[in-house]
């Protein structure tokens, strides 16, 4: 005779095993992906025609100094030994010392990344706020004037070079109209005030100044970030609106939408509740990829606006042949991609019950 009391325990242990197996697969996937990222950056560092020894010592180094430095940097070791040491150092957070700043690369990246994170986050929020409704409205009236206008705005956002759009924005809204702040994150006067009066909690000026109650500095920082965030937000909106329109057109042609309309359900509920809910899963991927692209693709925008973020840091490091800084920044950007993909996978399970099963 079967002991019915043992059935819940078996089901509970089976569920725990499944959960443990999923967690193990997730950790293994992350480890393999990160190892692949390190392998790619390692190969890039060896393929680029920049001698790391000469970058450190300079062109006037003697042969003896060159050989000694090459031995000290481990470049005479077998390639697999070099890669193993590279992985070990990366896991320890040791990306070397930057030639530009003479500081550890991790310290530099930690200092500049919040500026890029702040800029990309605001741009993504703007892209979602304007891009998703625009795509939904366009999908409800395909071929109409509204649809054509949304598609035209999206096409312009994709076609116009972001550096040109940034320069035109500075010329018009900063140079001519004076509506926004200029290049940089703060005016010179407010930079001193920020360093003296605002504790650095997150490295993101808007959050730190709001927490400290320094609203004058907050207003100045906002006037500086609004234009570059709008430029990147326009680019993000163009991508998100186009993909939202495509997803919604597909859903609005499904049988469940026709059934809901026949039953007399209000059109706004059909579109904004039922159809939009079913596009959330692919839309999450689109937004996550857009966010990741802004984190790593804002190099030109940061250069135009002299925004002291990770993109500008990597650019200056590349021009200075500072490969330790370039590779360290690249690993951080790649890690952001990995984490955002993992986050989107987790959000799938919250939004779509089918993914949980």
Structure tokens at 54: 């000469």
Q: Is the pLDDT confidence value at 17 over 60? A: yes
Distances (CA, A) of 297 to 198, 229, 325, 328: 29, 13, 17, 16
Supply the pLDDT for residue 51. 67
Q: What is the CA radius of gyration of the chain?
A: 25
Supply the pLDDT for residue 131. 92
Question: Which one-letter DSSP state was computed for residue 272?
Answer: I
Which residue's structure tokens are 């206008």?
A: 149
Supply the pLDDT for residue 225. 93
Confidence of residue 11 (pLDDT cuts 50, 70, 90): low
User: 54-58, 68-72, 120-124 — which one is most confidently predicted on average?
Assistant: 120-124
Among 16, 35, 275, smallest CA distance to 139 is for 275
Confidence of residue 3 (pLDDT cuts 50, 70, 90): low
Among 321, 322, 320, 297, smallest CA distance to 309 is for 297
Among 172, 120, 155, smallest CA distance to 296 is for 120
Average predicted confidence (pLDDT) for the chain = 83
On whether the pTM is more than 0.75, the answer is: yes
Q: Is the pLDDT confidence value at 93 over 70? A: yes
Supply the pLDDT for residue 210. 92
Q: What is the mean pLDDT of residues 174-192?
A: 87
Q: Report the alpha-carbon distance of residue 280 to residue 275 in Å, rounded.
A: 9
pLDDT digit string (tens) for 213-253?
889 999 999 999 999 999 999 989 999 999 999 999 988 88
Q: Report the alpha-carbon distance of residue 350 to residue 357 in Å, rounded.
A: 11
Q: What is the mean pLDDT of residues 87-92?
A: 83
pLDDT digit string (tens) for 36-66?
888 888 887 777 766 667 666 667 777 777 7
Supply the pLDDT for residue 67. 75
Query: By CB neighbour count within 10 A (0-12 exposed, 13-18 middle, 19+ buried), where does 223 fall?
Result: middle
Query: By CB neighbour count within 10 A (0-12 exposed, 13-18 middle, 19+ buried), where does 345 fall?
Result: middle
Confidence of residue 77 (pLDDT cuts 50, 70, 90): confident
Q: Is the pLDDT confidence value at 178 over 80? A: yes
Contact indicator for 180, 204 with CB cutoff of 8 Å: no
pLDDT digit string (tens) for 319-354?
877 788 888 888 888 888 788 877 877 777 776 666
Supply the pLDDT for residue 125. 94
Contact indicator for 89, 101 with CB cutoff of 8 Å: no
Q: What is the mean pLDDT of residues 269-294?
A: 86
pLDDT digit string (tens) for 285-320?
889 888 888 876 677 788 889 888 888 888 888 887
Q: Domain 105-356: state its class.
A: mainly alpha
Supply the pLDDT for residue 207. 92
Q: What is the mean pLDDT of residues 156-170?
A: 85
């Amino acid at each position: 005779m079967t002991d019915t009391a043992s059935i819940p325990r078996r089901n509970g242990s089976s569920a725990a095993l499944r959960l443990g197996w999923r967690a193990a697969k997730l950790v293994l996937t992350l480890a393999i992906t990160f190892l692949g990222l390190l392998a790619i950056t390692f190969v890039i560092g060896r393929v680029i025609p920049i001698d790391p020894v000469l970058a450190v010592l300079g062109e006037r180094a003697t042969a003896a100094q060159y050989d000694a430095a090459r031995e000290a940097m481990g470049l005479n070791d077998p390639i697999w030994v070099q890669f193993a040491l590279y992985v070990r150092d990366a896991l320890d957070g040791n990306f070397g010392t930057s030639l530009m700043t003479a500081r550890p690369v991790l310290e530099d990246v930690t200092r500049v990344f919040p500026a890029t994170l702040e800029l990309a986050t605001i741009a993504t929020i703007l892209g979602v706020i304007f891009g998703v409704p625009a795509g939904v409205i366009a999908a409800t009236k395909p071929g109409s004037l509204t649809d054509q206008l949304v598609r035209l705005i999206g096409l312009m956002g994709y076609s116009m070079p972001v550096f040109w759009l940034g320069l035109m924005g500075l010329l018009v809204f900063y140079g001519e109209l004076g509506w926004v702040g200029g290049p940089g994150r703060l005016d010179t006067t407010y930079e001193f005030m920020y360093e003296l009066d605002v504790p650095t909690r997150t490295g993101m000026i808007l959050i730190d100044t709001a927490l400290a109650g320094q609203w004058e500095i907050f207003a100045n920082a906002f006037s500086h970030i609004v234009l570059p965030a709008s430029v990147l937000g326009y680019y993000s909106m163009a991508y998100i609106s186009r993909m939202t329109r495509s997803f919604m057109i597909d859903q609005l042609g499904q049988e469940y939408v026709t059934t809901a309309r026949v039953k007399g359900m209000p059109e706004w509920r059909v579109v904004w509740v039922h159809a939009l809910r079913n596009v959330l899963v692919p839309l999450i991927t689109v937004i996550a990829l857009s966010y990741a692209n802004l984190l790593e693709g804002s190099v030109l925008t940061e250069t135009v606006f002299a925004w002291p973020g990770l993109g500008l840091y990597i650019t200056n490091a590349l021009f200075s042949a500072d490969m330790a800084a370039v590779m360290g920044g690249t690993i951080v950007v790649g890690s952001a991609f990995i984490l955002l993909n993992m986050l989107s996978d987790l959000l799938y399970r919250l939004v779509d019950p089918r993914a949980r099963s």
